[in-house]
Amino acid sequence: MLNRILVIGGYGKVGRTVCSSLAGKFPGQIIAAGRNRQESEAFSASTDGKVQPLSLDIYSPDSIRALDPQTKLVVMCIDQQNPNFVQTCLRKGIHYIDVTADYPFVSQVQASHQIAKSAGSTAVLGVGLAPGLTSLLAQYSRSLFEQAQHADLFVLLGSGEAHGEAALDWTLKNMNYEFRENPQDRKSPAQSLSKKQTYFPGELGRRRAFPFNFLERHTLPHTLAIDSVDTWIAFDSDATTWGFMLSKKMGLSWLIDSPWGRRCILNLMKNVHIGSERYVVKIEMQGCIAGQPRGHEVSISGTGEGHATGITTAEVAERLMTGSYTPGVFYIEQLFELQDFLKKLRQRGLIFEFSESAPSMLLNPASC
């Protein structure tokens, strides 16, 4: 009996990469599922049947029938409204991977740890480029420190890449996130207008980065024992950078919150691409090494954020299919290590540059 990998959203941008990367090793076992059967069948035909099509709506009661005894792994490449489908997978002993970066949803799945543990299933969350490789970079940097006091996580995105609508919508939603020391205190000043400069590899050089609500700001303090984590977004295009900054300064968040304004901005983002497809993910860690205050920087850069997310997800999927892991719900940095992982990504054909600095003395350190 063949064990199947059900990739939900398998004919989307990230899903296609996941399916294609796995099809060589698991021909006929990969199922590209989604609500649009025509797109699913067209994608299947383009793979000469190595990837099979399936019409599936995860919110329909009929979706449970797709989780037959042959299904060993579900890879979720779309956003969800509730964890019901995930919990059904876990109860059936089906392994699960999710690429979503939405913390409120991820925290609900994380709360299903005991369900997975009891059923013998393993779920891996925060899989992709950001989150994903970002968390593994943080794990690698954290391993150098006895105590990690602070980490800044930077994600530079290429404005020229054509992203899927779900990814663009998530980006818009998190542009309006207000950074407060106490999220319940509406009187405290938000930090969403602040900015930070950092140096990115190569010709990108020094650039402005802005606070952004990436998943890792919520998860890494707990999974890696880092006292505090700030997450930042930057762009390769100066025009996009200025546009982002001006929208914040002019208080245009109301446009994003209105349905018509959101739709207009989404259409603009989908059809106007200024810049390249370059991406960089970078960690700046501060802490104590041998009782001395030190700082460390490490980064990965490449081209095609969506492709990198798909290849990373495919690597996690193959590991769950062929290896043995502790049952439960985990983040990627709790199961895998950076250097081994990067070696496997290169074998999958992902081209990227890895760079790091030697730990250096901090000029204004916290006490060690």
Q: Mean per-residue pLDDT for 224-242?
A: 87
Q: What pTM was estimated for this model as a whole?
A: 0.89
Position with higher pLDDT, 1 vs 21: 21
Are the CB atoms for 248 and 125 separated by under 8 Å? no
pLDDT at residue number 62 = 75
Size of the chain, expressed as the number of residues it contains: 368
Are the CB atoms for 129 and 309 separated by under 8 Å? yes
pLDDT at residue number 52 = 95
Q: Mean per-residue pLDDT for 142-146?
A: 96
What residues contact residue 40 under an 8 Å CB cut-off, 6+ apart? 10, 11, 32, 33, 34, 53, 54, 55
Write the DSSP string, 192-234: TT--EEEEETGGGEEEEEEE---THHHHHHHHS-BS-EEEEEE
Question: Confidence class of residue 190 from pLDDT cuts 50, 70 and 90?
Answer: very low
Render pLDDT for 348-363 as a digit per residue (tens, 0 to 9): 999 999 999 988 987 6
Average pLDDT over the chain, rounded to an integer: 87
Q: Which domains does the chain have, with CATH numbers?
A: 4-128+306-347 (3.40.50.720), 130-305+351-361 (3.30.360.10)
Position with higher pLDDT, 68 vs 283: 283
